[in-house]
Amino acid sequence: MESGREAVKEALAIEAESAEEVEAARAEQERGRSGISVGLLLQAVEKERESLQLFQQGIETLQQALEARRRALDQQEELLTNLMNEIKESRTE
């Protein structure tokens, strides 16, 4: 599950970088330098896409962890049920 956390942390960092590039693009546009602004906005879009991909990876990792925990709980429940049945049987003998 650690890799899920790391992916989310990295995604948040990339998202922050993207926001900074958008702000820089706005500043450049206000200065009349729209060429630089376009480049910064394109970089921001790419970083957002990368961020979304990392979020997706984090979500997938968490889903796998949830499924593994569900399976473990099902196994525990089955063992407890079997144990309870054995105890009941031993009491009736």
CB contact burial 31-67 (16+ within 10 A = b; e otherwise): eeeeeebeebbebbeebbebbeebbebbeebbeeeee
| pLDDT tens readout for residues 15-50 | 888 888 888 888 878 888 777 778 888 888 998 999
Q: Mean pLDDT throughout 63-73?
A: 95
pLDDT beyond 90 at 72 = yes
pLDDT beyond 90 at 6 = no
Three-state DSSP class for 32? coil
| pLDDT tens readout for residues 58-67 | 899 989 999 9
31 DSSP assignment: T
Residue ranges in the chain assigned as alpha helix (H) = 2-30, 34-92
